[in-house]
Amino acid sequence: MYTNNAYLNNSTLDIKDKSKPLIVTSCGTYHLYTRPKLPTWRPRGRLDFQLLYIASGKAHFHFDGKEQIVTAGHMVLYRPKEPQKYEYYGEDQTEVYWVHFTGGNVTNLLRSYGLADDKKVFYCGSGMEYQTIFRSMINELQMCKESYPEMLEMYLKQIFIMLQRFFQTSAKVSNTQAAEEIDKATLYFNEHYSEDIYVDEYAKEHNISISWFIRNFKHYTGVTPMQYILNKRIYNAEALLQNPQYNITEIANIVGYDNPLYFSRIFKKAKGLSPSEYRKNINL
């Protein structure tokens, strides 16, 4: 299991603080590879707010005694004192990002961005932008550089703005079939990104036009299907490079490349550094 977390003042305790309108108190990510199950059970909830983003795989949430499977591209929002019960399973290859926050104006702020009081589970898209922001937030809280609380607030508000724009765009789109097809495709790509995927064959197997599929996929995610798969591979390679347990060849195989030299070229083209250079920079 890969995990990377950060806590305000190095404290894991949840707090309620109204001294400022919005305060980020902790954030992190989990990515299950081998651990069979990661459960969470907080019958009394927490004192703060929690936003979770399912980046890949799926998670099992329980609301009012009923299980709800939440797939990649969805977020879950918990408010203070709401019971929390959910599980991640290794077989699902679940990757989750989360942030806890508090403040004196959080409820009004959420409403202003389209997150009404009854909005709990919602689709928000499967692009890489959310992961990038969450990772920047984690790094900011770990480094604690000058004015980092303000930077954390800005990152979180950026997520809220992205959600608001997504909600507004979705409200204008009447073609629900297209949204459902792209949702299924992103879920499939998230679960099979390390395998050989041919976009034309995928479209044919699902009885959809390849041109229609590429056009609508880019409309909903911002990138083409192949770029989406590439981004997923590179992103997961970045996470694995932070773990010295894996060498470059193993990482290449895990994310879908049989040839480590080809993987290194692809990675350098995407990130500007070779995998080995990237790993050295992490350890500086």
What SS3 string covers 185-209?
Answer: HHHHHHHHCCCCCCHHHHHHHCCCC
Three-class secondary structure of residue 120 per DSSP: coil
Per-residue confidence (pLDDT) for residue 173, from 0 to 100: 54
Residue 16's pLDDT is 94
**pLDDT, average across residues 261-283:** 88
The pLDDT value recorded for residue 1 is: 67
CB-count exposure of residue 80 (10 Å: 0-12, 13-18, 19+): middle
What the block records as the tokens of 270 is: 């995407």
How many Cβ atoms are within 10 Å of 89's Cβ, its own excluded? 17
Q: 142 exposed, middle or buried (CB, 10 Å; 0-12, 13-18, 19+)?
A: middle
CATH number at residue 41: 2.60.120.280
Range of the domain at 272: 176-282
pLDDT band at 169 (very low <50, low <70, confident <90, very high): confident
Residue 113 and residue 63 share a domain: yes
Q: What's the pLDDT at 18?
A: 94
Which among 136, 171, 206 is the end of a domain?
Answer: 171
User: pLDDT band at residue 115, thresholds of 50, 70 and 90?
Assistant: very high
Does residue 127 share a domain with residue 57? yes
Residue 86 is predicted with a pLDDT of 96
- For residue 284, what are the contacts with CB-CB under 8 A and spacing of at least 6? none
The domain total for the chain is 2
Q: Burial level of 30, CB count in 10 A (0-12/13-18/19+)?
A: buried
Q: What share of the chain is helix, strand, coil (3-state, %, to 5)?
A: 45, 20, 30
Which residue in the block uniquely carries the two structure tokens 């590179």?
234
pLDDT value, residue 175: 60
pLDDT digits (tens, 9 = 90+) for 24-35: 999 999 887 667
Q: Which residues face 6 on adjacent strands?
A: 27
Instruction: Note the pLDDT of residue 179.
Output: 73
pLDDT at residue number 56: 84
φ, ψ for residue 99, nearest 5 deg: -145, 140
DSSP per position, 130-198: HHHHHHHHHHHHHH--TTHHHHHHHHHHHHHHHHHHHHHHHHH---HHHHHHHHHHHHHHHHHTTS---
CA 144 – CA 133 distance, rounded (Å): 16
- Residue 172, pLDDT > 60, answer no
Over residues 118-145, the mean pLDDT reads 90
Mean pLDDT of 127-142: 91
Q: Are residues 237 and 98 in the same domain?
A: no
Q: What is the pLDDT of residues 221-233, one digit of tens each?
A: 778 999 999 988 9
pLDDT at 260: 92
Do both 103 and 222 map to the same domain? Answer: no
